[in-house]
């Protein structure tokens, strides 16, 4: 597509001095008020170098560029040059480009194949995959897709919580109250009940805590019986997790979790010692970060056992040595901000320059309407239950409304699961929110089902036009763009034009909601066009041009939804 900002910058550069092409392009604005043009150039900055009043500078630039064919009109308004792009040129360019690129539209090569790691989801084995995990899971999956669309080589890592003292507790509980058959039948719910019972019993029998610590020490030292139980819990947990990942259409390149780094940590404890960063405090080993305002980071406990920070340092170095990452992105709740600040700083102090390429992408927390979730007390909402309920309720709505669909089960899955994902990605990721069934399953307003319905409406228009007419719309060589320059058509085309840059903006901000908001805008723009214009008109050239815009919109919505991890049903 024509980069209008770049082309305008080149034209302006011929009439100003003292600014580079990049500086001029950076100064070009997109006015909020459409009456002020498609692009505007403020001239205040030029007053000192050109020694003229900004309005006079703006007038000179406007006169100098107004005859160029990419403009419909150029105006000087005070210190601004307001530029109205040729509607025909923009519409023809964007519609042709979207149809030509198809599923590739919205992608770029900004990343040039550089390796980027995205660590996301990362549930704890033998514990529920609950609604609290949905944020890391779907935000991380969308960031992975956005970076892939930007041309990076993305490595998706699920850093499983499969290590630590809780596994001593789990094995202890299983030995006291466990039943193998129950674990096989319902692994997570059964193991959760044991974990909950352990904490209840430990209140009156504190010796259980000592027993659990001893069991974990045996696990750390590779004792066969403990390792076999731990591996069984891990395998059974992954079966359950993968059911949810399959529902969400998510896959990973690596499930290397905390346990993977258990034999790699001594190297880094020794390295911290050798570099004079480690200090002893009450038998424990620490790194003092008080001068940096980050407190004290605990590296090993007094009994010699390691902590999250030790494993995260080992993991970061392993990933650099294995993947030579350009960026190492961690999609982890904002509760862990201090933890990430501490170990990024330790990595820096150890002399690893790539500490600056490790990025923590925080997000707000999910709570229940009845209070905070607690695994220890068994107060959780299983993510699988949320997804299944969303699908079942969607199926009921489809039946009630008599929706004409090829496969009711498939459509209900696409729309129900899509509603849950979209609900997660529609707001800025850093916001906390309260999980509410009513909100998740409300299909009105700016929701996932609304965007999917708009896609299905595009598909319906093309079907109603007939195969021959829809095929002509895809042949853009003879597109008569003058028929799609009305206000609503032009505004829709501008939204399509903006999608590739929107994807880049979302990637740079690690913010999927930037894409979510934009595809809502595209859906609203299409529905205005659908309302304002009669599409299947008698005039053949006009009909084909309008169908081409419909086809381009359909492609853009599908590609936008895919970046969120959602599907687009043809009938709804």
179 with 197: CB under 8 angstroms?
no
Given a contact cutoff of 8 angstroms between Cβ atoms, the answer to whether 155 and 115 are in contact is yes
Cα–Cα distance between 47 and 201 in angstroms, integer? 77
DSSP state of 123: P
DSSP of 91-113: HHHHHHHHHHHGGGTT---TTTT
Helix (H, G, I), strand (E, B) or coil at 72: strand
Distance CA 464, CA 470 (A): 9
Annotation marks residue 130 as catalytic: yes
Question: CB–CB of 317/268 below 8 Å?
Answer: yes
Q: Nearest 10 degrees: CA dihedral of 426, 432, 435, 440? A: -10
Active-site residue identified among 87, 92, 127, 360: 127
Distances (CA, A) of 390 to 141, 246, 358, 413, 513: 20, 16, 36, 8, 21
Residues sharing a CB contact under 8 Å with residue 258, sequence separation 6 or more, in sequence order: 159, 160, 161, 162, 163, 164, 308, 311
Map tokens 């790539």 to a residue: 354
> Which position among 52, 63, 114, 133 bears the catalytic label?
133
| Tokens representing residue 565 in the block | 């991890």
Say if CB 251 and CB 424 are below 8 A apart: no
- What residues form DSSP beta bridges with 41? 81
Q: Cα 401 to chain center, whole Å?
A: 32
User: Which H or E run includes 515?
Assistant: helix 513-532
In the set 87, 130, 472, 554, the catalytic residue is 130
The secondary structure element, H or E, covering residue 158 is none
C-alpha dist (Å) from residue 146 to 134, 155, 250, 356? 18, 13, 14, 21
- Catalytically active residues, by annotation: 127, 130, 133
């Amino acid at each position: 597509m024509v980069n209008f900002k770049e082309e305008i910058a080149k034209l302006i550069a011929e009439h100003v001095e003292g600014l580079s092409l990049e500086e001029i392009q950076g100064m070009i604005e997109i006015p909020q008020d459409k009456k002020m043009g498609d692009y505007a150039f403020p001239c205040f900055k030029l007053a000192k170098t050109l020694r003229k009043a900004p309005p006079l500078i703006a007038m000179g630039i406007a006169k100098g560029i107004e005859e160029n064919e990419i403009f419909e009109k150029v105006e000087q308004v005070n210190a601004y040059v307001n530029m109205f792009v040729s509607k025909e040129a923009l519409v023809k360019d964007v519609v042709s480009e979207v149809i030509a690129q198809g599923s590739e539209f919205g992608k770029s090569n900004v990343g040039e194949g550089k390796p980027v790691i995205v660590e996301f989801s990362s549930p704890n084995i033998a514990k529920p995959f609950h609604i609290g995990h949905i944020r890391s899971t779907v935000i991380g999956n969308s960031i992975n897709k956005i970076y892939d669309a930007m041309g990076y080589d993305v490595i998706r890592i699920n850093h499983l919580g499969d290590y630590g003292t809780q596994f001593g507790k789990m094995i202890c509980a299983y030995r006291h109250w466990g039943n193998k058959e129950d674990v096989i039948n319902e692994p997570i719910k059964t193991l959760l009940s044991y974990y909950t019972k352990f904490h209840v019993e430990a209140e009156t029998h504190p010796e259980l805590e000592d027993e659990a610590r001893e069991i974990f020490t045996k696990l750390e030292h590779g004792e066969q019986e403990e390792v076999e139980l731990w591996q069984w819990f891990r395998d059974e947990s992954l079966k359950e997790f993968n059911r949810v990942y399959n529902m969400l259409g998510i896959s990973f390149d690596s499930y290397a979790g905390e346990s993977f780094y258990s034999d790699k940590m001594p190297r880094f404890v020794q390295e911290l010692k050798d570099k004079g960063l480690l200090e002893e405090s009450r038998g424990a080993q620490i790194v003092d970060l008080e001068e940096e305002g980050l407190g004290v980071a605990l590296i090993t406990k007094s009994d010699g056992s390691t902590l999250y920070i030790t494993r995260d340092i080992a993991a970061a170095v392993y990933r650099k040595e294995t993947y030579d990452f350009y960026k190492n992105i961690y999609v982890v709740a904002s509760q862990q901000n201090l933890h990430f600040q501490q170990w990024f700083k330790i990595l820096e102090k150890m002399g690893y320059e790539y500490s600056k390429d490790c990025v923590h992408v925080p997000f707000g927390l999910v709570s229940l309407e009845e209070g905070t979730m607690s695994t220890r007390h068994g107060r959780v909402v299983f993510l699988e239950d949320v997804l299944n309920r969303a699908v079942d309720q969607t199926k009921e709505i489809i039946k009630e409304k008599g929706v004409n669909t090829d496969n009711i089960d498939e459509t209900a899955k696409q729309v129900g699961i899509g509603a849950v994902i979209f609900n997660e990605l529609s707001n800025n990721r850093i916001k906390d929110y309260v999980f509410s069934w009513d909100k998740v399953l409300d299909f009105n307003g700016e929701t996932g089902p609304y965007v999917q319905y708009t896609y299905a409406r595009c598909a319906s228009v093309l079907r109603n036009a007939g195969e021959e007419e829809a095929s002509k719309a895809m042949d853009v060589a003879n597109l008569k763009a003058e028929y799609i320059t009305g206000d609503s058509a032009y505004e829709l085309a501008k939204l399509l034009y903006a999608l590739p840059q929107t994807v880049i903006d979302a990637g740079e901000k690690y913010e999927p909601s930037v894409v979510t908001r934009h595809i809502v805008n595209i859906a609203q723009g299409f529905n205005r066009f659908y309302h304002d214009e009669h599409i299947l008109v008698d005039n053949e050239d006009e009909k084909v041009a309008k169908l081409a815009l419909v086809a381009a919109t359909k492609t853009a919505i599908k590609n936008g939804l895919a970046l969120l991890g959602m599907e687009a049903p043809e009938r709804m």
